[in-house]
Amino acid sequence: MNLNDHRDEAGDFLRMIGATNRPVETILDWLDEELARLRQSLADRPELAHRVYDVMFLLFELAATHNLDLDEQWTQGRLRKRAKYGPDSQPLPSPTVNEHLSADAKSSTVQLTTLLRDLENRLLEPEVRQSPVEVDRLLADEFLEFTSSGNACRKQHCVGGMSAVDMVMSDFQARLLAPGVALATYRVAKRDGQEVKHSLRSSIWKQIASRWQMVFHQGTPQNPR
């Protein structure tokens, strides 16, 4: 599950118990109480895990109350940290991605979405986009892209180094089209100077030699919502 899924689950719980109009101040007061209990449970691992869950659920309730896009904020936070701590300081490690997830044994929507979101995010990272080795691993040999500017691009055009741009992903979804073949769709906000350009993105991923690789990508310009 992604963060917005947990937010929506908390929202469903509030609706179920008829507490959708719960005052934000009440949630914040409960957070203060749970944080105090969390501090007192540091020596008790099971109790600590329980208190962390309670704090997280209250935060998801707060996000549901205000309909916050937590997935987008998580991505933006990663970009802010990269800008703050790199490249002059130690670079942040890239997220560990299980590229060898079996499509037959682990093809649930949640697992597939998590896997492909991580792979797509890697292709948005400047250090990955400018690394021929990383791009070669992520793109299939038959890769084809129709860019948001209307151009066609093959793998050999990308392996030499893609431009490093500031892009933020949101509204990510994925589904299995056939065994070992999946579709990912999402939105991208790309900063170009003082302007932010929005586009709809779709990718087809294929499991090749036990590794997921992108075989097709398309970007379509979109007016901001």
Q: Kindly report whether the global pTM for this prediction surpasses the value 0.75.
A: no
Same domain for 174 and 105: yes
Structural domain containing residue 186: 97-222
Rounded to whole angstroms, the Cα distance separating 13 from 7 reads 10
pLDDT of residue 84: 64
Which has more pLDDT, 98 or 212?
212
17 vs 200 pLDDT, higher one: 200
Answer yes or no: do 44 and 148 share one domain: no
Average pLDDT of the residues of the chain: 81
| pLDDT value, residue 86 | 56
Strand residues in the chain grouped as ranges (E): 139-146, 152-154, 166-178, 181-192, 195-208, 211-222
Q: pLDDT value at position 225?
A: 54
Same domain flag for 160 and 208? yes
Would residue 83 count as lying in a domain? no
pLDDT of residue 24: 85
198 within a domain of the structure (yes/no): yes
More confident residue, 206 or 159: 206
pLDDT of residue 108: 63
* Nearest to 30, CA basis, from 60, 10, 7, 55: 55
Main-chain dihedrals φ then ψ at residue 125, nearest 5 degrees? -80, 130
CATH of the domain at 45: 1.10.287
Q: Please give the tally of structural domains in the chain.
A: 2
Express each pLDDT in 48-101 by its tens digit.
888 898 899 899 999 988 888 888 888 777 777 766 665 544 444 444 445 554
CATH number, domain containing residue 182:
3.10.450.50
Closest CA to 22 of 69, 68, 64: 64
* pLDDT tens for each residue of 115-152: 899 999 888 888 888 888 888 889 999 999 988 777 88
* Residue type (1 letter), 42: L
